[in-house]
Amino acid sequence: MKAGKILISGAGIAGLSTAIQLKKNGIPFRIIEKSHAFETRGYAMAIQEEGINAARELGILDDIREWGVERDIQRIERCDGRVITSNNPATKGEGYTINRNQLHQILLKKVQNIEFGISAETIKDADNGKEVEFSNGTVEKFDLVIAADGINSALRPLLNPGKSIFDTGLSVWNVHVKDYFPTIIEIWNKRLITAFYPLPEGTSVSFFVKKPFTSIKESGSRKEDIKHFFKDCTHPEIGRVLEKCDEGIFFGSVRNVITPRWYRDRILLIGDAAHGVSPLSGMGANLAMADAAGIGKVLSEPEIHMDDFVQYRKQQAYKAFKIGQKRKRRALLKAPLSIIRNTTISSGNWNY
């Protein structure tokens, strides 16, 4: 296969990054976005080594440096305030936290031709290509369709008809607190993890609870729901967050996407559509940008080796998936294992 005209479905992190790469390599494409306007609710994301490398490739690293907050000392404490570990992430190389909306805006500035309010409805085989019928009734042929349509991808079932999205048993509330800059990164306690991500204007705080989303009945006040689940956690920062935040709180389930097939017959899945990893891994957007940086290179070569690309990206996604699992297991240990964990971490024998 040679790169010809490409359809990118979805203008999120993966889709926009792909568009930037195709534009850079002079490959013609259309990029469509189902929604009429982008969601403005943001949360903070960690951009780490793989994302930094991809950002450099995409030409947005300086913007991330400008709008992100550099990684600082990471202190993890228990609910009673005792320190589990405190390390300096700078030893792990360059890294930032950034608001997802901000990252999206940075990417958007480089992509002008997004078609909003349109989706691919049917995709059929055509001579050396794919014939796509769009939701507005128009039909066009493409050489490759890139599905960058997120965790609930509509195109993923075309390649993977079975179940591919799995609940991790965790639910998450996310709040933004302006003018609040704690010096802590996480609080761990058996069924609960609270993660603090610094942003220029304040802190984005995620409250994870080990309870499936479907089994939680919302009371109508998300603030009260968090208070209820975290009532035994007496850490003062929890109280501070709940005192300072308003009711604009996100609540959702933490899911993983595990798909055996990422490419078949000129349809390629990238980003969360291919590999939704838990936010606890801090890797989803990093992978999405790296997928895009990689596919840009692959498609600019005279002979396209999609299998090698997919194989490599699968290895990277698998690593991120394992990080998410490991972090969940470590944080949610009950005594006596948590006592062993705390001793091991504080003695410095734990590569957190």
The residue within the footprint of ligand FAD, chosen from 3, 7, 12, 267 (CB under 6 A), is 12
- What Cα–Cα distance (Å) separates residue 221 from each residue in 173, 216, 237, 324? 12, 13, 20, 29
The least distance separating ligand FAD from the CB of residue 262, rounded to whole angstroms, comes to 12
Distance of alpha carbon 324 from alpha carbon 307, whole angstroms = 26
Give 278 or 338: the residue with its C-beta nearer to ligand FAD.
278
Between strands 263-264 and 267-269, the pairing is antiparallel
Distance of alpha carbon 135 from alpha carbon 34, whole angstroms = 9
Contact flags string 78-117 toward ligand FAD, x per CB under 6 A: ----------------------x-----------------
Distance of alpha carbon 253 from alpha carbon 100, whole angstroms = 18
Long-range interactions of 345-352: CB distance < 8 A, separation 24+: 345/76, 345/84, 345/85, 346/83, 346/84, 346/85, 350/85, 352/74, 352/76, 352/85, 352/87
The least distance separating ligand FAD from the CB of residue 305, rounded to whole angstroms, comes to 23
Contact flags string 27-56 toward ligand FAD, x per CB under 6 A: -----xxxx-------x-xx----------
Q: How many residues bind ligand FAD (CB under 6 A)?
A: 33
Q: With binding defined as CB under 6 A, does residue 223 bind ligand FAD?
A: no
Q: With binding defined as CB under 6 A, does residue 11 bind ligand FAD?
A: yes
Total count of residues recorded for the chain: 352
Distance of alpha carbon 214 from alpha carbon 243, whole angstroms = 27
Q: With binding defined as CB under 6 A, does residue 172 bind ligand FAD?
A: yes
Interface stretch with ligand FAD, choices 13-21, 62-70, 72-80, 342-350 (CB under 6 A):
13-21
DSSP 298: H
Q: With binding defined as CB under 6 A, does residue 324 bind ligand FAD?
A: no
Site of interaction with ligand FAD (CB under 6 A) = 9-15, 32-35, 43, 45-46, 100, 119, 148-150, 154, 172, 174, 206, 271-273, 279, 282-286, 288
